[in-house]
Chain A
Amino acid sequence: MSMLGFNLLNGATFAALLFVVGSGFTLIFGLMRIVNLAHGALYLLGGYVAFSVAMKTGSFALGIACAAGAVAIAGLLIDVVLLRFVRGNDLRQVLLTVGVALVLNDAMLVIWGGDTFTVPVPQWLQGPVQFLGMTYPVYRLFVLGVGVAIFLGLWLLLNKTRLGALIRAGVDDAEMVEAMGVNIRRVFIYTLMLGTALAGIGGALGGAFLSLYPTADAEILVFSLAVVIIGGRGSLAGAAVGALLVAMLATFGQVWFPELAYFVIFGPMAVLLAFRPLGLFGRAT
């Protein structure tokens, strides 16, 4: 029983991380129609930045903040310097971000090398905690808390603010929003920076319990893709449900079929796609 509870908690905390990363991915995809395949690389960049800053300053919070800032700027640069040339052309945009992912990944290999790093966390987040008759790492509970907080924050942003209303309108019909006199480009930029910053925060959070290594970007990208494919483009609820589903499958898959864990997230995805090619919350445009 306590084993099941332990695994459920593992699944939930992993889901929180996947939600943080996946919600950024789905926001950008939903609004800007950009499938940012460099999202995994940006996650890893965030992790490395957080690691370096936390090692230098000893502050985990500062590490997270710097990761979010640095990655948001990286996202902005990708958009302003590169994506501007292929605007309005979905496929060229995606393929261009593939190139960005390769370049970023290799550049990080140059800077941080091939070793495995773990972002250092402060004292109060270390060690286990006792509750409900289980011993569980405090840090993972912290990630769960952050995931829930980010979900609430994004929900409030999207549903209660003017920017959120513009983003939601833009997901449905960007041209119409522009025709109403809104500078949709600015909304795009904000969303892009928000989405990539989420990848950076995810990297900082994940870097402390999944550790950072050169292929971590590809692994997190597969999970983010699965989250968005299951949840549907541009949907916050979809990202949450998708993250929960993927994380639980991955966690229990790891326990039951350690070598084929990857395969386990594939089965339900296949069944889902057979019925809803656009994902649970996806809508045709």
Chain B
Amino acid sequence: MNKLHKVSKHHIWTAIVLAALALLPFAISGYQTSLATQMLIFAALAMSIDILAGYAGRTPLGHGAIFGVATYVLLYYVTTAGGSLWGGIALGILAAVGTAVVFGALAIRTSGVYFLLLTLALGMIVWGVSLRWTSVTGGENGIRGTVKPEWLASHVNLYYFTLAITSLMALAMWRFVNSPFGLTLKGIRESETRMKALGYNVPLHVFIGFVVSGFFAGMAGILYAFYNSFVSPSTVELRQSVAGLLMAIVGGIGTLFGSLIGSIVIITLENLVSLYTERWSMVLGLMFIFTMIFAPEGLVGKARQLMARRQARLSGAATLSAAATQGAATSPSTAGRDKGGGH
């Protein structure tokens, strides 16, 4: 009974959000529509990061590279090599999945800080290659070229296309993390040793989770190629991985759809900040620092926690401690999770 109630509530919320997103272009300017498109693309990237960070308990810092590899391959294949769009899309996603396979195969045996370090180092190798392999990547100049089909030329059409694809991706990811497989990932997050003792092949599960996550990051990268028509080393640089992870964290790790909130907050802020100053990098860094210090459970989690505390204060001291312990239990601190399992 309770569960049924919960599910229907979820459905209603999803319907409201989708309806709002569908009506959005009527309410805002063309430029803002294009920003909204960007938010959707990065929400998809942040969700793919959340699969690993929130559900498998392994925080990656190399997803910007996986995302950017798809963008690079699509733009190179269509613009420089003169291939077809569909071929480029297929190759781009394949390249992202291939990158994820390599990253995953190397990183799955580690956890916690080591996992983060490894994915960071691997992602930065992609960055280094994109910077130096000038004959293919164009070095600092990058690759420029419109790859999206004619009918996506207008802001609004591209927005609806992106909305449709990212909604499907979000649905697929939601199904994935709530599948028995996704529950196994959660189990690994909570206690790796226990899952091992229960007979689960932990590295294999994490590996598959990594590859699936890489697939979605690659899809987001393809959408980004449509949206941006340009790719350069800054697409695969550390800042991109950091921004993606920050979106997932701000939205609340392990909430999947929170990533959309994170993406909206960060991209809105990025555009507000750029109106006044060129120091976006610094603001992003400061946000990261403050998020880590004050709200590692994300904005959504923080709001929930504050509300629980207020409620507890209203209903007296007796429930205060109960709410506090509950708050601590439900606020997913990113690191507590990664501590399980030996390094």
Contact = CB atoms under 8 A, between A and B. Distances in A.
Interface string B112-129: 111011101110110111
B285 A106 contact: yes
Interface string A157-200: 00000000000000000000000000000000000000000000
B113 A99 contact: no
A200 to B, nearest CB: 20
A105 B237 CA distance: 14
B133 A219 contact: no
Interface stretch (B1-9, B89-97, B211-219, B335-343): B335-343
A100 B292 CA distance: 11
Given A91-B113, A99-B287, A222-B121, A262 B242 contact: no
Q: Which of B122, B237, B245 has most chain A Cβ within 10 Å?
A: B122
B227 to A, nearest CB: 24
B296 A37 contact: no
A138 interface: no
A35 B117 contact: yes
B286 interface: yes
B289 A99 contact: yes
A225 B284 CA distance: 23
B239 interface: yes
A262 B334 contact: no
A285 interface: yes
Nearest to B140: A215
Given A35-B113, A266-B125, A284-B342, A92 B281 contact: no
Contacts, number: 138
Given A33-B113, A222-B121, A98 B288 contact: yes
B106 A270 contact: yes
A277 interface: yes
A124 B339 CA distance: 52
B242 A92 contact: no
A221 B123 CA distance: 12
A1 B128 CA distance: 30
Nearest to B282: A106
A218 B237 contact: yes
B279 interface: yes
> Which bracket fits the contact residues of B?
35 or more
A270 B108 CA distance: 12
A112 B289 CA distance: 23
B129 A90 contact: no
B124 A222 contact: yes
A37 B120 contact: yes
B238 interface: yes
Interface string A28-41: 00000101010000
A135 interface: no
Contact of A229 (B59, B117, B245): B117
A92 B124 contact: no
A119 B335 CA distance: 40
A214 to B, nearest CB: 10
Q: Which of A37, A91, A284 has most chain B Cβ within 10 Å?
A: A91
B121 A102 contact: no
Contacts of B102: 270
B23 interface: no
Interface string B245-275: 1000100000000000000000000000000
A285 B288 contact: no
B281 A105 contact: yes
Contacts of B343: 278, 284-285
A259 B139 CA distance: 10
B286 A99 contact: yes
A78 to B, nearest CB: 10
B61 interface: yes
Contact of B118 (A85, A219, A273): A273
A83 B87 CA distance: 48
Nearest to B129: A262
A89 B333 contact: yes
A82 interface: yes
B135 interface: yes
Interface string A249-285: 0000000001111110110011001100110000011
Given A102-B285, A110-B279, 9 more contacts: A82-B289, A86-B293, A86-B296, A92-B296, A102-B242, A259-B133, A262-B125, A269-B121, A270-B106
25 contacts: A82-B289, A89-B333, A91-B112, A91-B113, A94-B116, A98-B288, A99-B289, A100-B289, A102-B239, A103-B286, A103-B289, A105-B281, A110-B279, A222-B125, A225-B121, A228-B117, A259-B133, A260-B132, A262-B125, A263-B125, A263-B129, A266-B122, A270-B102, A273-B109, A277-B109
